[in-house]
Structure 1
Amino acid sequence: WRGEAGDAAGAVAAFEELLADQERSLGPDHIDTLMTRRALAGWRGEAGDAAGAAAAFEELLADPAWLLGPDSPDTLAVRDELARWRGEAGDAAGAAAARKNLLADRVRVLGPDHPDTLSTRHELARWRGMAGDAAGAAAALEELLPDQERVMGP
């Protein structure tokens, strides 16, 4: 709760301590250990280390222990976080490319009207704009708005 209370650095310290305990007692491949790594990566980003967060999410996805499968909601969420922190670290084009790939998988797995799919479309448009494609971003947002209103209401 430290992070939720505004102490992102305190959350990082707490999750680092928890991770060490979990690796020692549960092992590095235990699902709880992996989820702690996921939380730690996110709080690193919130604490101002966007590049460290992106690297940690990339390591998590590459870890053979992350056996949840490519279509798992947790795997899709980690890919979403990786794209976010890649962009926050200054790689807008990389964030847009990652969102584009993620969007294709979310449409396939969740469907075009799922809130996570709609959010991915929004973030893809945002990072396209940040990468210099303002016209493409604006067009994507114009296409997205009616779908969001239809699914989520005005």
Structure 2
Amino acid sequence: MGRWFNRSRERDDEPPREPESTGPVIEITVTHDGRSTTETIGGPTAFGLQYHAFHEQYGATDPRTLEAGSRYARELMRNNDIDEAVAIYQEIVGLRSSALGPEHPDTLRTKHSLAFALWQLGSHAEAERVQRDVYEARRRVLGDGDAETLRSGNNLGWLLIELGRMDEAEPLLRRVADGMARTLGRDDADTLTCQMKLAGIQHLQGHSQQAERALRDVVQRMTRTLGPTSPVSLQARSNLLVVLLDSGRAAEAVDAARTLADDAGRALKGTDGVLLHARHSLARALAGVGRRPEAIRLLTDTLPDSERGRGVDHPGTLEMRTLYAQLLVEAGDRRAGPEARAALAGCERVHGPGHPDTEKARALVRLTR
């Protein structure tokens, strides 16, 4: 079964309370042998220096310090430094809890972001625990229909999907989707994204016809309200292809997959997760209609982008590498052995020795001997 596309780590569906200005820029002048040179520092380093400077100047629990810490953590997330972002979010949660209380809205906002960072780090069980705490607290403090409560429920539902707890995720996301439709509007991007997740659960539970109908409706409404090439519309179109391909309908999917890959290529950068997912689906479709050489060429070009953009051990990269190895084995290509062994090593690291994906990669390795 094809992988259902996951969200990007660039945002956690909860924007800052106030619009963010341009980040700090620090100039450092160094004098040596009578000559001075000035260097400009921005990005995470500048955000971090600002946070620590505010800590010294205003104190650990001053609102300016805490907000600077949150900005620093968000910048770390944008730059893929997830471990450090988790550490900073944990620090800010502790400070806000002691200064404002554990259920103050600002504390809960930071805990929501911490849960998302843990999720992106791969600590799904811990992320689920933190996100559930936030969701239940927001239900008590803000009410079930509040937009922030719904965002927490939305993320909690997705985490439950990642943990394979579909029976818990389905009623939660259905409740959240209904709440979003009332609070945000039926055609709001968050509402439609939540409905897309519900369709994903239906597909994973084997109800592919229901999932296809739901996804076609979501794609139609996203296209109408957000445009066909908005990132979330492209994601929904890509997920619809997963349903078609998993149902053995490659001939029906191949033209749509080509159009989607072209649209995503024009709208997104080469390492974007939605574009990578679309190209993976196109490779599956090409292979499914007997166009293996085209699929191999596409994956040869796309796999390095996935490694750079998502990481060598990202589940999406591993699934792409496994498909690549499978096609190389079928073609009798000499690259099959190294790629199959790399897929097996990655699956063992990420999934463990007994996981179905690991067993599939192991079978490919045996075929190359």
Correspondence for 2:81? 7
Match of 1:50 in 2: 124
Partner of 1:140: 214
Identity across the alignment (%)? 27
Contact 1:58-1:82 at 8 Å conserved across structures: yes
Partner of 1:105: 179
Amino acid at match of 1:151: T
Q: Do 2:147 and 2:184's aligned partners in 1 also have CA atoms closer than 8 Å?
A: no
Say yes or no: does 1:119 pair with 2:193: yes
Distance in 2 of aligned mates of 1:112 and 1:37: 28
Structure 2: give runs of 5+ residues left out of the alignment: 1-74, 229-369
* Residues in 2 aligned to 1:65 and 1:79: alpha-carbon distance in whole angstroms: 9
Larger mean CA deviation between 102-111 and 74-83 belongs to 102-111
Query: Partner amino acid for 1:134?
Result: S
SS in 1 for 2:141: coil
Query: Which shifted more, 58-67 or 5-14?
Result: 58-67
Q: With a CA cutoff of 8 Å and minimum separation of 6, indicate the structure with the bigger relative contact order.
A: 1
- Say if 2:87 is the partner of 1:25: no
- Kindly provide the CA deviation profile for residues 28-68 of structure 1, in whole angstroms up to 9, marking residues without a partner as x: 23222111111111111111011221221111222379512
2:202 matched residue in structure 1? 128
Q: Which amino acid aligns with 2:214?
A: A
Deviation at 1:136, TM superposition (A): 1.5
State how far apart, in whole Å, the 2-side matches of 1:27 and 1:108 are: 30
CA RMSD in angstroms comes to 1.9
CA deviation vs aligned residue, 1:130-153 (integer Å, no higher than 9, x gap): 232222211211222222222122
Query: Cα offset for 1:112?
Result: 1.4
- 1:3 is paired with a residue whose SS is helix
Conserved 8 A contact 1:92-1:128: no
Q: Show CA shifts across 1:73-132 (max 9, x none).
A: 101100101101111112133223322121111122222112221111111111221232
Matched with 1:78 is 152
Deviates more, 1:56-65 or 1:137-146: 56-65
- Aligned partner of 2:207: which letter? D
Amino acid at match of 1:63: A
- Structure 1: give runs of 5+ residues left out of the alignment: none
More moved, 8-17 vs 95-104:
95-104
- What is the TM-score with the length of structure 2 in the denominator? 0.39
Residue type of the alignment partner of 2:93 = L
Going from structure 1 to structure 2, the CA distance change for 1:123 and 1:64 (only over 3 Å counts) comes to closer
Counterparts of 1:84 and 1:113, CA distance in 2:
20
Q: 1:19 to 1:129 in 2, by over 3 A?
A: same
